[in-house]
Amino acid sequence: MQKIVPCLWFDGNGEEAVKFYTGIFPNSRVTDKLLWGDTNPALKGSLLTAVFELQGQEFMVINGGPQFKFTPAISMYLRCGTQAEVDNYWSRLLEGGKPMECGWLTDRYGVAWQIVPDGLIEMFQDKDPAKAARAMQSMMTMVKLDIAAVRKAFDGA
């Protein structure tokens, strides 16, 4: 059991969000649901909370109401092994959402995601500051990240 579980606050559409996310990521499942009971007769029988896993990572959703909204100050950092994986997650999570710069997007629920190809951070941390700077400058011009284009800039080609 994971000791720290991110809890995402939704305004009544948490169950829809869970279905959306578990439909995108392989090895995903809902592990627990709690429905509203007699303490809130207007919502009785609808989802209060759910615990779900995305590729083994636990999350919780709560249908808490309109008091709080998501901001990019907290985001889901999604590491991808290939450009095809970046492209897949980018297009699926972007459905109904909004692209931002540098590999970030906000999905249809307002949750911010960073879709990041493996190897990018290593280029930024390279011992050669000129190579690292070229990679960073290349990435800063992008919306969806293109690892081949960043690698080309990094290599000085």
23 pLDDT more than 80: yes
Residue 107 identity:
D
Residue 121 identity:
I
SS3 content of the chain, % helix, strand, coil (to 5): 35, 30, 40
110 pLDDT more than 90: yes
Confidence of residue 115 (pLDDT cuts 50, 70, 90): very high
Note whether 26 and 54 are within 8 A (CB): no
Domains and CATH numbers, the chain: 1-66 (3.30.720.100), 70-157 (3.10.180.10)
154 pLDDT more than 90: yes
2 pLDDT more than 90: no
Q: In the prediction, which pLDDT does 50 show?
A: 98
Q: What is the mean pLDDT of the chain?
A: 96
Among 68, 78, 63, 56, which residue's Cα sits nearest to residue 18? 63
Confidence of residue 121 (pLDDT cuts 50, 70, 90): very high
